Structure 1
Amino acid sequence: MKSKRYDAEFKKEIAQLYLSGSRTGPSLAAKLGLHPNTIYKWAQELEKDPEAAFPGSGNLKLEGQAMKKAQQRIRELENEVAILKQAAAYFAKNCR
């Protein structure tokens, strides 16, 4: 069975309802057909980082974006080093 995906706005709205105290986790979960732990997890994520909560598929939080850029730069530099090593070996062989 495939789990249903909810968008960030929906998750924020449900988490805010729970955090405000206007609804309990179990009552929200029963109404939406979710497990109460899902409501608690959404509320925790919203409390931890309200701006970057629920980034969505393919959208990384700022730390993730920085890490991805750093890894890409490392790959580029490793390629450059490999090319320079080949060039150095070629010129060393041809200078003799």
Structure 2
Amino acid sequence: MSNRNKFTDDYKKEMVKLITELGKKPADVARDIGVTPTTIRRWVKQYSLHGEDAFPGKGNLRPADAEQRRLEKENKELKEEIAILKKAMGIFSRDVK
């Protein structure tokens, strides 16, 4: 069984606000909730980079990342379709003797 604490995204946001808005030290907040200061600093960094979408949850992607993944998949499929069509054109455009 895991000894790791599981914090909700709302809880993480509240801890970040303690630091960013109230000026508490990351080490003090970390000690109070039982995590390392590095963890708190990582939460602050994620929140500063991604805002409200910073903590999507385990196995979930931020909306921008989900859209990026969808577009990459679509691009790959289109490239495969183009390659198939090029091969078909080559076959049908040959001179039959």
Same fold (TM over 0.5): yes
- TM alignment of 1:31-50, pairs within 5 A: 31-50=32-51
Q: 1:30-50 CA deviation, whole Å, 9 max, x = no partner? A: 122111121122123223332
Q: TM-score, normalised by structure 2?
A: 0.73
Offset, 1:11: 0.8
C-alpha distance in structure 1 between counterparts of 2:84 and 2:6, whole Å:
45
Q: TM-score, normalised by structure 1?
A: 0.73
- Kindly report the root-mean-square deviation, in angstroms, between the aligned alpha carbons of the 2 structures: 2.5
Q: 1:60-93 CA deviation, whole Å, 9 max, x = no partner? A: 2343233212211211111211221232233234
| Identical amino acids, percent of aligned pairs | 29
* Residues 1:77 and 2:95 aligned together: no
- Gapped runs of 5+ residues in structure 2? none
Matched length: 95
C-alpha distance in structure 2 between counterparts of 1:44 and 1:72, whole Å:
29
Q: Looking at both structures, which has the greater relative contact order when contacts are Cα pairs under 8 Å and sequence separation is at least 6?
A: 1
- Gapped runs of 5+ residues in structure 1? none
